[in-house]
Structure 1
Amino acid sequence: MKNDANVVHLNKMVSEAAHPAASRLPASLIQVRDRAATQLKQALQALFDNADDTLFDMADRATSNAEQNAFFEAMRDLRLKRKGIERGFLQRVFESFAGLNQHVVGKAPTLDAVSFDSLSLVQNDELEETVALDSMIAKVLSRDHVALTHLTTRLNAVVSKKLDDKSNPLGPVSLSELFLESCSGLGVEIKVKLIILKLFEKYVLSGLEQLYADANAVLVEAGVLPELKAVVPRRNATPNRPERSERTEQVDGFERSTSFADDDVREVFSALQELLSQTRDGLAPRRQAPANAMPISTNDLMRLLSHLQQRAPIQAPMDVDLRSQLEHLLTRASAKSGRVRVVGEVDEDVINLVSMLFEFILDDRSLPDSLKALIARLQIPMLKVAVLDKTFFSRGSHPARRLLNEIATAALGWGEHDSSQRDSLYQKIEQVVQRLLNDFTDDPAIFSELLADFLAFTGDERRRSELLEQRTRDAEEGSARAEMARREVEQALNERLLGKTLPEVVVRLLREAWSKVMMLTCLKHGTDSEQWQSSLATMDELIWSVEPHDNPEARLRLLELVPGLLKALREGMASAAFDPFSTSEFFSQLEALHVQAFQRFKRAIPDVERAAPTESDEVQRSALSAVGIELPLLDLQLEEDSSISAMVEVVEEIVLEAPGQTRIEEEEPVIALDDEAMLHVDALRVGSWVEFQEDEEHKLRCKLAAIIKPTGKYIFVNRTGMKVLEKTRVGLALEFRRNAVRLLDDALLFDRALESVIGNLRRLKGA
């Protein structure tokens, strides 16, 4: 008999318990939900699959160690919580569908526009997040408004709750809110959070057009409002509000409409013009032109600059005066037209600013002179960009500006001795410069292309150098640990042996063999470990066992001690892989020493006392026999072997040397901790670039890769990550004292140049 109709499946019970309203959803709506969930799950997986690469690229371009660590921590946090975020998001989507037939729904959406009156109450991070969300949602509503509206209308036809585009469970507002809730457990900075939101926009929100098309198709097939026809929406311009340009820019990986930045751009450039206007007589004098002078158009100026660019010599001198070259061309143009032609005021201000920027750049001591000549040839292309796009001065992420910064950063570690003909970095920079001179006319997109290519090149180089640099650090830290272990062993040996007279074989055994066992123990377990204390105890027992003793109790202790002592010595030397032949030789001589010690005890005992061996003697004899020592017969008198029992007095400190090395202790002068040179050393940080003046002609550029605290060594590497120099703290201070080393400024070149120009203009204004 079949009872299937009465069987309730456990999975169904769990599902309905979790979503009590789900069972009341129409079949068509369940199909919409399930299809949407599948697509959203795939989109989220794509998001997280690409998040690692995106955050790694951001870390690669980080300008500080703190910023780089923040990105690496975010990568780790995201990996750990990825599954939870995916499950939580999809769970919330299911719950939002489950509530569609409920009359009372949870909280209202929280992504409404923020009023200007309340902006002062919103924290900066929250404001940035809100602005990013509003931008993302606005794009979806602009692109998919009709499809979303049709979906909302159809949902209203089959569910009891009144919906709008904001409360639609598949709308961009709801989905963004659910994703934010799912990510609430991420402990990341706002910069990382904005990157994650951008990835959500790219991989999830960008696919909503297809999701809405599929959802509408399912509902139409089910007969829900099939008469709704998709039409192309007509955009009505808001009165008193002109339509914004669709042109966008890339800012740290985020697209942002340039119109949002227009006011800031005008403000920055106007401020620069204002400073220039008040200092022109002292810094950038304007040529007096007749009243009938005719300013050339920006297009004409671009043609003149392109003319200069195409005729620029391959090895351009660094002191080229671009303004005088333009003056010469304008004079020729004026002679042909019969009317004085001049550069317009705005364009002339741009020319003056770019000229001053390059004057700073080419005077900058952080750039190698041989690469300055290459960078000098970028002046005309950079000027053309600035003429076309004034955001060049105000936007740190401008591709042309970033390209210049990236070239300067890569060149920081380039040494004058590097062969420019063979060096890949020099050739890459030369290739970029030549491409700009040959191909750049008036389309700034070439800078984005060259920037991406150059970042890929430097990224590969950086990863290779970081790998070698890490190996260098590991090797130096390993050497430092070995050096500290040697010193610990030296100290232990000297504390126990210095001033004592002992058999020569024991001194050699401790110095040549047991010292290696102790070093290995120190490296593996440290000086606070039980193993280290055990190795010290074994050494103490060995020394005691070969020292002369007269009291009968010493004989009993020696009988008890020797078996365990020899066993510990054998095991220790075996663990240190000490030469087996030498080990056998040492033990042979050591056993002879112990036999002699037992014989001395027996000769000191009266004949009556040693007439009858005791049971204890037999037990100890068996124990000694087990480790290879056969005591001679009691009445046998052995002659002492003088070569075995040769005694030496340890009068000099024991110094252990690393294999293949000789330690030379150099006495360094004492420098006060508050000495200016010492303060310069203490200000150095790992990653700092410095330049050493080796002699009158040669300089060495290198980066501080590690400070090995146990030994006090400062390890420097070149730009490939190879070790080129090591200095002690005092040795480095002496280099600073004689001005043979200077710190290279690794801040962004263009930003430093712009800051310097503004500072100079302000000083002239105040003069």
Structure 2
Amino acid sequence: MTAPKDNPNVVDLQQRQPGTAATDRLGDLLKLVRGVSLKRINALVGTLFENVDDALFDLAERAGSNAVQTEYFDGMREVRKKRQLVERLFQDQATKAFTDFADGKLKAARTEVSPQPASGGLSLVDDTELEESLAVTSMVAKAENRLQRALYQVNQRLSVIIGGGKVEDNNNPIGPAVLGNAFRSAIREFEVNVQVKLIIYKLFDRYVMTGLEPIYDEVNVELIRAGVLPQVRHVAPTNKQPAPAAGVRLPPGAAAPAATTSAPTYYDPAADQLQAEIYHTLRSLLANRHGPEGHAGDGAVGGIGFSPTDLLSALTILQSQSAVAQARAESVADAAQAVQQIKRELLDQVNKLSGDAKDKRVSSADEDTIDLVGMLFEYILQDRNLPAQMQALFGRLQIPYLKVAILDKHLFAQKSHPARRLLDLLADAGKSWSEESDRDHRLYERIKACVETVLRDFDDDVGVFERELASFGDFIDQHKKRAELAEQRAADATRGREKLQAARRTAAREILKRIEDRNLPPVVHSVLSRPWANYLVLTVLRQGEESDEWKNALRFADEFVWSAQPKTTESEVTRLRALLPQLEKALRHGLATVAYHDSDVKQLMGELSLFYKRLLDGQKIETKTVKEVIAEQVTPATPGEDAEAPAPAVAATQSPVEEIVLGSSDAEGTAESEPAEPVEEDEFVQAVRAIKVGTWIEFIDENEQRERAKLSWISPISSKYLFVNRRGLKVCDKTVHGLAAELRRGSAVVLEEVPLFDRALDAIVARLRHAGDEAPATPPAPQAG
């Protein structure tokens, strides 16, 4: 008999008794993990289904049509009917994951599109499966990023339990990936449309994925009690965070918040190194203000310094006291006043809290941090990128961000800090906001709710910022998907109009080449300038200018013009008689293509038959120029006039040829409303040509009304710029020189693409350097007594 292993914490899963059930093969510690986790996870799934009814009922009440409302009610009935079955299937899947894990058979979970039924050939991926796959992938990635610290520790301890096998996020039996796929497999039983399923996935994310952290913490605690890796530390397997650079440190006694090391997905070593250098520059410039006596690092000038705890306590009191006052600060002026007062109020409050504060002062380092955050928010309140309403909202965040800066100097040194990323995301969303594009105030209220959540909930847990970052990011992603669809429709509509106008101009040019300098019978003019021009438009749109159909259409126009001219020789008459059947056949084909009415076709053919009879008989036929014919059609002749050659039945809409001859704006575009192009390109024209798709611009009309729009598409045909608002709806389109003229006179302003935090730090560095240049090189010498 083999002796047991020396390490009691390593469970030998190979030691099995004959006839033992599969559940007994797991080992005591793995059974402990399974019991603790699945009990809690199944309870969370129960909570999810208890909320499905309310969610679907609310959506049904707000449905825009009876059909959509019926789908939601049908979904409610289906979930009620099969809830127990789906819960049981999910439990079976989750339990089986543990069994497979113990046997080493649990494969890495991947969110894949389910196989489609074989149909004897290739088929496209089902849209429903793709939507579900994207939903599961998104919530798994978000959960793994948010839970990285606790999940990493669970992975390491499970690895010990199974004897050293590699355990990662995607093969952990209680990892988000395995649970997400188990739930996806279970809810296949629901016979509901994809919209209802996506709502159920959203609720799974809200109630199950969000509730995993305490479960992981409990599992870790239980395994620590059992002696499994009690001292394990969270070390990210990739993109390991470097130690903070010199001069970037936490206050004494303050632990680094987990949030600063739990987001390797967003970590960019090169970018963070650059940010650290900028932060060092800021610290040096701020320290120079104190003079030689104030260069004592974190020590106070002239006495013992207040501790970070003193400052945080004072800030917490200010945060609660000023919440109501800040909520009323709807204007930028109010917010600016609050920003300037915070330092004074903080010093007053910290003195009140410290009864023995007679010889205490704020340390130079902490005073620099207070000033730096103050300058950050002064910049925000002057930022041209943000509308005034957004400036006022963001100004309310100064106290929470000051607390973060005192807790963790990585706020300024690392782009990946969650508080920094949240402010950048809010500012990016705020950049696109305008009253016109947010009439339901949905975006404004969502940003306001995020600000108020931080003000209300943030004490000393930086995780608040990470949770709000995830929540607000979800909101933006949902909006972005809808906006992109609308934006694509706007671009497609504009592209279609431009293609049509280009085709109409091409057709008109070809017709005018053949009739502009000729005197022809009115009936020939009318056929070529109206139905045949329209046929050419359709042909060039559908077939292109290289097609046989286009070439045949132009050949007909040439032969039709020749056929209408007087015939002076017998050979010409013979050729015309042979040509007429071919002309009639081609003309009928063209008229049918443009949906000419049968009665109109019959009338037109009668008129042409009469015309050719008179022509072959050698009778005199009246001819006119194209401008004379079109002028008569626009201004109808009096009854009885031109009875010898009655006008053919034609469509009432203006033809491509008429548009060019009459100078219609549809044919020529809107160029006449644009300024004339300058002979030489100046800096504004060059700036417009350099603008990239995705750039936001603020337009200001003559009434000082402001609208923000994004460059969505540049036409390859006309080079016009299409602008849409944050909903993806068209705002305007501009020519290059038209937009340059607006930039020149200041009625259009290009908004910056650089994130808010980066722009603010650059501006603060420039401000401090400028102040340093203006200051005297050395302090004045003291006067002799």
Deviations 1:162-208 (A, max 9, x none): xxx7xxxxx43xx9xxxxxxxxxxxxxxxxxxxxxxxxx42136779
Alpha-carbon RMSD across the aligned residues, in angstroms, is: 4.6
| 1:342 paired to 2:355 | no
**Residue of structure 2 aligned with 1:299, choices 309, 312, 315:** 309
1-structure distance, mates of 2:697, 2:133:
35
CA–CA distance in structure 1, aligned partners of residues 291 and 662 of structure 2: 73
Deviation at 1:569, TM superposition (A): 0.9
Q: Is the 8 A contact 1:46 1:203 kept in 2?
A: no
Question: Match for 1:736: what amino acid?
Answer: L
**2:487 corresponds to 1:465:** no
Q: Does structure 2 conserve the Cα–Cα contact (< 8 Å) formed by 1:493 and 1:654? A: no
Pick which of 511-520 and 552-561 moved more: 552-561
Residue matched to 2:645: 643
Is this contact kept in 2: 1:248–1:255, CA < 8 A? no
3-state secondary structure, aligned to 1:311: helix
May I ask how many residue pairs the two structures share in their alignment? 545
Residue 109 of structure 2 corresponds to residue 43 of structure 1: yes
Matches within 5 A, 1:140-151: 142-149=156-163
TM-score of the pair, normalised by structure 2: 0.61
Q: What residue in structure 1 maps to residue 70 of structure 2? A: none
Compared CA separation, residues 487 and 678, structure 1 to 2 (3 A): same
1:318 to 335, 356, 359: 335
State TM-score, norm by structure 1. 0.62
Name which of 376, 381, 384 aligns with 2:400. 381
| Counterpart pick for 1:481 among 484, 494, 499 | 499
Taking the aligned partners of 1:477 and 1:59, their CA distance within structure 2 comes to: 37
Tell whether the 8 Å contact from 1:279 to 1:761 is kept in structure 2 after alignment: no
Q: Does 1:353 align with 2:353?
A: no
Equivalent position of 2:764 in the other structure: 757
2:432 to 413, 433, 439: 413
2:378 maps to a residue whose letter is E
Contact 1:690-1:701 within 8 A present in 2 as well: yes
Q: 1:235 to 1:404 in 2, by over 3 A?
A: closer
Q: CA deviation at 1:726?
A: 1.9
Q: Which amino acid aligns with 2:348?
A: H
**Equivalent-residue separation in structure 2 for 1:557 and 1:655 (angstroms):** 33
Letter aligned with residue 299 of structure 1: T
1:397: how far off? 2.2
C-alpha distance after superposition, 1:682-707 (max 9, x if no partner): 11121111112212632222111222
How big is the shift at 1:582?
Answer: 2.3
Distance in 2, Cα, partners of 1:290 & 1:248: 29
* Residue 411 of structure 2: aligned partner: 392
Distance 1:466 1:355, change over 3 A: same
Using the TM superposition, give the Cα deviation of residue 325 of structure 1 relative to its aligned residue in structure 2, in angstroms.
1.7
Distance (Å, rounded) in 2 between the aligned partners of 1:461 and 1:645: 56
Q: Structure 1 pair 148/682, CA: closer, same or farther in 2 (3 Å)?
A: same
Contact 2:301 2:361 in 1 (8 A): no
Which residue, out of 687, 690, 697, partners 2:704? 697
- 2-side partners of 1:364 and 1:741: how far apart? 16
The range that moved more, 264-273 or 662-671, is 264-273
- Is the CA contact (8 Å cut-off) linking 2:310 and 2:353 kept in structure 1? no
Alignment of 1:165-204 (within 5 A): 171-172=165-166, 201-204=168-171
Unaligned runs of 5+ in 2: 1-21, 26-98, 115-129, 143-148, 179-225, 234-242, 244-254, 620-641, 649-656, 775-785
Task: Give 1:670's match in structure 2, choosing from 665, 677, 681.
Answer: 677
Q: Is the 8 A contact 1:370 1:416 kept in 2?
A: no
Q: Is the Cα–Cα contact under 8 Å of residues 111 and 133 in structure 2 kept in the other structure?
A: no
Query: Within 5 A, what are the aligned runs for 1:507-518?
Result: 507-518=525-536
8 Å contact 1:265–1:391 — kept in the other structure?
no
1:746 CA displacement: 2.3
1 CA distance for matches of 2:156 and 2:411?
30
Is the 2:535–2:590 Cα contact (8 Å) retained in structure 1?
yes
Give, in whole Å, the separation in 1 of the partners of 2:316 and 2:276. 26
Compared with structure 1, are the counterparts of its residues 256 and 205 closer, same or farther at alpha carbon in structure 2 (3 Å cutoff)? farther
Q: Which amino acid aligns with 1:410?
A: A
Equivalent of 2:754 in 747, 752, 757:
747
CA–CA distance in structure 1, aligned partners of residues 733 and 268 of structure 2: 50
What amino acid does structure 2 have at the position aligned with 1:43? A
**AA at the equivalent of 2:644:** S
SS in 2 for 1:704: strand
1:531 to 545, 549, 553: 549
1:366 and 2:385 are equivalent in the alignment: yes
Q: Structure 1 residues 290, 677: closer, same or farther in 2, change over 3 A?
A: closer
Structure 1 residue 721: Cα displacement: 1.5
Report the AA paired with residue 674 of structure 1.
E
CA contact (8 A) 1:294 1:340 kept: yes
- The match for 2:593 among 550, 562, 575 is 575
How far apart, in 2, do the equivalents of 1:401 and 1:758 lie?
18
CA distance in 2, matches of 1:670, 1:659: 18
Deviations 1:632-662 (A, max 9, x none): xxxxxxxx9832699xxxx999548999999
1:327 aligned partner? 347
Structure 1 position 478, deviation (Å): 0.4
Following TM superposition, by how much is the alpha carbon of 1:581 offset from its aligned partner in structure 2, in angstroms? 2.8
Report how far residue 546 of structure 1 moved: 1.8
Alpha-carbon distance change, 56 to 751 in structure 1, aligned in 2, over 3 angstroms? farther
- Report the residue type matching 1:754 in the other structure: L
**CA–CA distance in 2 between the matches of 1:575 and 1:488?**
18
What secondary structure does 1:339 align onto? Answer: helix
CA shift, 1:729, in A, is 1.8
